[in-house]
Amino acid sequence: MGKHPASGIYRHLRRKAAIFDVLVQALSGVLNSRSLDLLLVVFL
């Protein structure tokens, strides 16, 4: 019960960031850097 409520949210965000990082690495392996930059601009 002593857990801070934000710790679960923080852990969730870290998990999402890790998944996003893996996706970006996979995309960068497939695409060249210019189209990857375009994708990041579109999604962010």
pLDDT at 16: 92
pLDDT at 28: 74
Closest CA to 24 of 6, 43, 7: 43
What pLDDT is stored for residue 32 in this prediction?
Answer: 61
Question: Which among 21, 7, 5 has a CA at the least distance from the CA of 29?
Answer: 21
Q: What is residue 7's predicted lDDT score, i.e. its pLDDT?
A: 85
pLDDT score for 44: 64
pLDDT (0 to 100) of residue 31: 65
What is the chain's pLDDT, residue by residue, as a tens digit (44 residues)?
A: 557 778 888 899 999 999 999 888 887 777 666 666 777 777 76
